[in-house]
Structure 1
Amino acid sequence: MADHYEVLGVSRDATPDEIKKAYRRLARELHPDVNPGTEASERFKEVTHAYDVLSDPKQRQQYDLGGQGGMGGQGFGGFGDIFETFFGAGQQTRGPRSRRERGQDALIRVEVGLDEVIFGTHRDLEVDTAVLCETCHGSCCQPGTAPVTCDICHGTGSIQRAVRSLLGNVMTSSPCGTCRGYGTVIATPCVTCQGQGRVRARRTVPVDIPAGVDTGVRLQMPGSGEAGPAGGPNGDLYLEIKVRGHDVFSRNGDDLLATLEVAMTDAILGTTATIPALDGDVDIEVKAGIQSGEIVTVKDRGVTRLRGNGRGDLRIGVQVVTPTKLSGKERALVEQLAASRKPGKPELAHFQQGLFARLRDRFLG
């Protein structure tokens, strides 16, 4: 790599003003607006980089030392430098760090209906996330260019300097301020991603939500999260499930619960009913003499088990509805029925829980 002083045409002891004047003269001569040639453009980039280094006193000092600190540091280094040296942190052993990093994980909340979790469902989710830059494909550079070796740390990613301590002169190491520890400098960053290797965009993620999920369940989709910087691997996408409530059916584990209102006469004589379940009609037999709070179970018409085979049951709680208004004829018929049965007078009996409490106990029992 060419010497920065030679690039600007100044001596190594040039003053800051002399360096600035030399840069301005060359910039006017080589600027793409004045000299559009390819060779002039590359020369302009080289001149600009040389000026960036030599115009910064700290970077110029490091450059003059060849990326290695001199032995004449004044004062005593802190105890942190001493311990870093003896415990290994003071030595650059790992080399420059990579620009490629793993992308972040993402969490999306997905709401599904109770009917969708019986057999599972499919969703195409629109996600705002980081995706790989299509211009540079993660290289962070303009097409046709590549990172160049940092001329301050010479590709090591760190700068060593000597400090005086109670134990004498010791060497410490710190990340290079010019390349930020990468060992390379991106001279011509990609204009699309601004040298990040990724951009923000909306993408569609197809998701198969398995049967049997419930509110609070999290599904992991490896590699479907954000793209990493500089073409790094994607993070993971997590889906947190919320199951919407239903007007008729509720859920207890893998079982579906509902209440069937039965007229008093049907409860006495018995009947059949066809109810619209979540996955099709179900025929229910109401036996004669059925009581409020009894449960009619339909096997294998519940929710498909998330981890296992088969399905839960559909459990129907019966509620006998007593009419509140009767016509004269209806009342006469009921009185005739009552007289024929000769029921006893109402008597106290052991306390029984209300209908809904009994239904709950039977459902959950």
Structure 2
Amino acid sequence: MLSAFALASFPVDLLDKTSGLAVLSCGGAGAARTDGVGAAYWNPAGLAFSGKSGFDLTYYQKLGFVNHSSLDAVLLLGGDILPLGFNLVQEGINSIPRTSSAGGLPVEEGSFADEYRFINFSTAFRLDHGLYGGLNYKIISHTIDKYRAEGFAVDLGLIQIMSQNLTLGATFRNLFSALDWTTGLQEYLARKLTAGVAYHLPLADFENYLYADLDIYSEEERGWALGAESWLLKNVFCLRGGYNSGQEFTLGTGLRYNDFHCDLALLFNPDKVEIDNSFLFGLGFDFQLPRNSAARAVSDASFQPEISVFRKRIIVSDLQPEKIQEIAVLDPADNVLSLPVRKTIEIPAPATGNYTLFFQLKNEKIIKQTVLVE
């Protein structure tokens, strides 16, 4: 029989780094990512950069015996003003042998299951020029045999856009938490700070991204993760890879076709661990929520991104990536720079003078905006 002491010895934050195949296939480095419907799982501030509503469904068997299923979703409400994130993540181990001792020998007496689940609600908001914050509220349940715990946890996230190609992120996980067991035992999830960096490395033919995370646990433990992503066909097909402090080597691919996307990941366990490697598979779909007629009329009749200048940077926000084909800027020296299509972009503006922004929409219209940097 499980005792209260045994329950207290179980790790409680079992669902850390288990959802979001794009991040998992990059070694688990995701604190500074600003794309994907699983953004809230890794850093809730990433919801602020969502261009569309959407959802991902994922199922896999980890290590050969842990069954994982998850639903990650983003909803953009109020004309994209309020991004909401949702995650339902659960893992379980079935048919764990229950044993007792008889005459000094172990005797098997049936089996039991260990199941862990959380439901997460998230939102994000802009705090300052280039600085975004986010909040997770997780409802948690954990069942071991006939013992059950229920509780909550709160995460906070920050993302700072440093330049057009450099992003910093930080996630404060389990700042507040509590799990109450039916035995009367109360547990608190271990706090963790994850600091991350993402760097966009554009080449002539490929869009490349580099990611790095550092994990600092409340128990004075440390961890790290490195990852890379290369879009060999822009917005259609990419390759991913990574490595982390758990000596886990990861590979993956992403495939996009219109609003459908498919992600695959393969996690290789260390050679010294005799456990099966994990193959992960996920499917997703992006969509646009219907708006009321007034909001739709304004959206269709005008294109009005918010543009501001702050500390030698041009900040363009409230864009609608689903309507934009391409963005470029002409600087005062007549140099042309192509920009990624995102909901928020920041453009370095070291020289004074006029910067001309060109937005080519998918309906073939080209809109020009001139910004004076003094």
Range class of TM-score, shorter chain: under 0.3
Max Rg structure: 1
- The structure carrying a bigger helix percent of its residues is 1
- The structure carrying a bigger strand percent of its residues is 2
TM-score (norm: length of structure 1): 0.21
